[in-house]
């Protein structure tokens, strides 16, 4: 059984978060999505980056 059709070629990705290994179909216009979910992994990555920048600015 096929999970994704032929139109998914090159758009199946693995989440970029260090602690997540989910696979997702990148349906973004530019095909440059990095995380399985912005609400989950994307938000945590952005919060970490913000805190690191804030800590280095002190």
| pLDDT tier for residue 1 given thresholds of 50, 70 and 90 | very low
| pLDDT tier for residue 2 given thresholds of 50, 70 and 90 | low
Nearest residue to 44 via CA among 13, 12, 14, 15:
15
Q: Whole-prediction pTM value?
A: 0.70
Length of the chain: 58
Average pLDDT value for residue range 2-15: 80
16-46 pLDDT tens trace: 998 999 999 998 999 899 999 999 999 999 9
DSSP notation for 1-52: --SS-GGGTT-EEE--STT---EEE---TTS---SS-IIIIIHHHHHHHHHH
- Alpha carbons 13 and 21: distance in angstroms, whole number: 10
| pLDDT tier for residue 9 given thresholds of 50, 70 and 90 | confident
């Amino acid at each position: 059984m096929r999970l994704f059709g032929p139109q998914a070629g090159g758009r199946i990705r693995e989440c970029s978060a260090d602690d997540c290994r989910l696979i997702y179909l990148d349906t973004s216009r530019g095909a440059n999505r990095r995380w399985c979910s912005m609400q989950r992994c994307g938000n945590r990555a952005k919060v970490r980056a913000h805190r690191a920048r804030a800590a280095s600015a002190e």
